[in-house]
Amino acid sequence: MTATSDLIFESAARYPDRLAVIADGLRCTYADLAASVGSFASSLSALGVGRGERVAILMNNGLPFIEAYFSCLATGATVVLLNPTLSRRELEHAVVDSAASLLLTDGEPTPVASAVATAVGCRCVAWANIPSSPAPAPRPGLSGNEDAVVIYTSGSTGTPKGAVLSHSNLLWNAWISASTKLFAFTENDVILAALPLFHAYGMTCVMNAGLLAGSCLVIMPFFQAGEALRLMNLHGVTVLEGVPTMYHALLEPARAQAAKVPRLRLCISGGAAMALPLLREFEATFSTVVMEGYGLSETSPMVCFNQPHFPRKPGTVGRAVWGVEVEIARDDISERIELVPPGERGEIVVRGHNVFKGYLGRPDATAEVLVEGWFRTGDIGVKDQEGYVAVVDRKKELIIRGGYNVYPREIEEVLKAHPAVADAAVIGRYDARYGEEVVAVVRLIAEAADDPPTILRWTSDRVAAYKRPRELVILDKFPMSVTGKVLKRILVRELFGGVKTAADLADG
């Protein structure tokens, strides 16, 4: 198996009559899915899609997304995954930057898809208008190192870049995720696919890993807690994969209908750190185990995971997955990799089969992150003597107050433990005296009546003086990514007009 699309045909040979997908009232077996993928691949080939072409997919979760994804890969083309929530400007950038020759959308082309395609001179076709062909196209013999997928990064540090993942990147990550080394998926598992499949986490850990194992995917176009609980009970879901905001959202309806809480074999959390109080409450409410992992788009995404063969350490993201090395390097040196001893903080660096090929058309940006065979993640972390990794913060989100390093995630964990705080983000604001000042931004639980001074005093008792937030802002909601990360760049811009650090001011 060298092409990612092969996993569909392999699973169809093993489990032809088992359900592969439940979506929008439809039930699709593995034999049906393989037949559809082969047929649509033939139709796409007739449209000129094939090796060397890039096809952009702008769809929400659903059977059409899965068919389009695997059909394009089966022709030998490279799939460019687009986030439907992006603005027209952002979508135009991705289509132009990737040189996609075709834009596929679900149903009738949405106004934004049509407008984007027209603006950049790209064909736009609704998936429903792709004719099915009676004969499947011959599958090209692809090498594992050929481009499979382009995923655009969030652009938190500038213009989004297209991370190029190979077929080997995706297949290794899917196999390791599905195997007994991690999730131990089987043909008897039913997985709730509520994570966006256009994101690396949903694509690899839910869709590719689940279909590789012969599991059944219950698709949600969008996550909604009450509907998620209903679907989990209705279809006997055994595995839930999500981000901390999803787990938090599920607790309220679960408390209201405790007798209907589904029996979950395994829960997987990623995308952002889960606060320990949330992890413990969710495990107690659902009588399950939540395992945390860590990954990035550039690493296909899995890097570390709290694996079943090692003791779990809550508060860490576990150990490096099979075939991957994870170390901590000095974060103040960019031109080379200098590793630090266990227990010391630094930048998390990764090497192995999961590391991407580079940023599309950006050799300069690629050279910045691929150094001496290691991928520099931009995350600050620490690795203990037993190999467990804790992610401390983003390198670029580090706050330097009066010469002292302040790691926002550490303060956020303290804030989230306050009984009135539902969520928290810590950001830096330019300060003429200290360089930066620590600012806490929180979202309160509905019935909370605590005021900013009370929460600040509570927090000050639990952190060192130089780490204490001097300001606290209460918001009703945070700007969030599709994987539940607070978009701090947007938060800073909304609160302070985009000025964050002394370095930002120096850069003009």
CATH of the domain at 327: 3.40.50.12780
d(CA 144, CA 397): 36
Same domain, 403 and 369: no
What secondary structure, in 3-state letters, does 251-266 show? HHHHHHCHHHCCCCCE
Same domain, 390 and 403: no
For the ranges 59-73, 97-111, 187-201, which has the lowest average pLDDT? 97-111
- Residue 118's H or E segment, with its range, is helix 111-120
Top pLDDT among 241 and 248 is at 241
Same domain, 207 and 153: no
Same domain, 92 and 228: no
Q: Is 177 helix (H, G, I), strand (E, B) or coil?
A: helix
Q: Is 360 helix (H, G, I), strand (E, B) or coil?
A: coil
Residue 73 binned pLDDT confidence (cut-offs 50, 70, 90): very high
Residue 320 binned pLDDT confidence (cut-offs 50, 70, 90): very high
CATH of the domain at 146: 3.40.50.980
- Residue-wise pLDDT for 404-418, tens only, equals 778 888 888 899 889
| Stretch 490-500: mean pLDDT | 75
Q: What is the pLDDT at residue 259?
A: 67
Checking if the pLDDT of 453 tops 50, the result is yes
Mean pLDDT for the chain?
90
What domain range includes position 129?
25-164
What secondary structure, in 3-state letters, does 41-102 show? HHHHHHCCCCCCCEEEEECCCCHHHHHHHHHHHHCCCEEEECCCCCCHHHHHHHHHHHCCCE
Residue 55 binned pLDDT confidence (cut-offs 50, 70, 90): very high
| Stretch 427-440: mean pLDDT | 86
| Stretch 475-480: mean pLDDT | 89
Q: What is the pLDDT at residue 503?
A: 36
Checking if the pLDDT of 49 tops 80, the result is yes
Checking if the pLDDT of 508 tops 60, the result is no
| Stretch 196-216: mean pLDDT | 97
- Residue-wise pLDDT for 115-151, tens only, equals 899 999 999 999 999 987 777 767 778 889 999 999 9
- What is the domain count for the chain? 3
Q: What is the pLDDT at residue 158?
A: 57
In contact, 425 and 460? CB cutoff 8 Å: no
Please state the pTM of the whole predicted model: 0.85
Residue where one domain finishes, among candidates 335, 361, 394: 394
Same domain, 95 and 159: yes
Residue 181 inside a domain? The answer is: no
What is the rounded end-to-end Cα distance, in angstroms, of the chain? 51
Residue 403 binned pLDDT confidence (cut-offs 50, 70, 90): low
- Residue-wise pLDDT for 221-243, tens only, equals 999 999 999 999 999 999 999 98
Residue where one domain finishes, among candidates 345, 360, 394: 394
Same domain, 420 and 352: no
Q: Omega of the bond prior to 301 within 30 degrees of 0, cis?
A: yes
Residue 178 inside a domain? The answer is: no
Q: Which residues sit opposite 382 in a β-bridge?
A: 390
Tell me what percent of the residues of the chain surpass a pLDDT of 70: 95
For the ranges 11-15, 166-170, 174-178, 500-504, which has the lowest average pLDDT? 500-504
CATH of the domain at 454: 3.30.300.30
In contact, 189 and 265? CB cutoff 8 Å: yes
Q: What is the pLDDT at residue 493?
A: 85
Same domain, 411 and 390: no
Q: What is the pLDDT at residue 212?
A: 98
